[in-house]
Amino acid sequence: METLNESVKERKKIIKDAESEILRLAIRAAEQIIRSEVSLHRDVCLNIVSEAINRVSDREQVMVKVNREDAEYIKRYKDRLAGILDGVKSFSILEDSTIEPGGCVVETNLGYVDARISTKLRTLEESLQRMVSEETPAEE
């Protein structure tokens, strides 16, 4: 009976150890798919910028930073994006090499919204890791 209990505990440990690795691999696969989508469909970046702008409460001065590859495309929609910010006083779109294609950072006088793809994926991974940790009962 003792051997059976040890085997069950060992099996649970192996599964627990594998969960983190499986989760990490799933996030990396999702990242590859997202980056592929971003490179094929420019409107993905426009949607991400629009969502980030919607989260901004300060309408005084809004600066959207995007990757150089996305800048010209996003600038074509500057009026539409500014329209989301009803009554914005200053609105600009800037190139920033630290932001990967598809993502953006929106800065205002009151703070910023980080809508970079890497940030979104990191947040997702951390949330999933926490969830997995909380679901696993403590060893007896």
Token pair of 58 as six digits: 């300060």
β-bridge partners, 90: 61
Compute the mean pLDDT over every residue in the chain, rounded to the nearest whole number.
86
- Looking at the DSSP bridge assignments, the partners of residue 9 are none
How far apart, in whole angstroms, are the C-alpha atoms of residue 48 and residue 104? 7
Instruction: Give the residue extent of every domain in the chain.
Output: 2-135
| pTM to 2 decimal places | 0.73
Instruction: Considering only CA atoms, give the Rg of the chain.
Output: 21
Classified by CATH at the fold level, domain 2-135 comes out as hypothetical protein PF0899 fold (3.30.2320)
Query: pLDDT tens-digit profile of 29-75?
Result: 888 888 788 777 778 889 999 999 999 888 889 999 999 989 999 99
Is 70 exceeded by the pLDDT of residue 138? no
Q: What is the pLDDT of residues 76-123, one digit of tens each?
A: 999 999 888 888 889 999 999 999 999 999 999 999 999 998 898 888
Give the contacts of 41 (CB within 8 A, at least 6 positions apart): none
Residue whose C-alpha is closest to residue 45's, from 85, 104, 119, 99:
104
- Helix H, strand E, coil C: the string for 98-140 is CCCCCCEEEEECCEEEECCHHHHHHHHHHHHHHHHHHHCCCCC
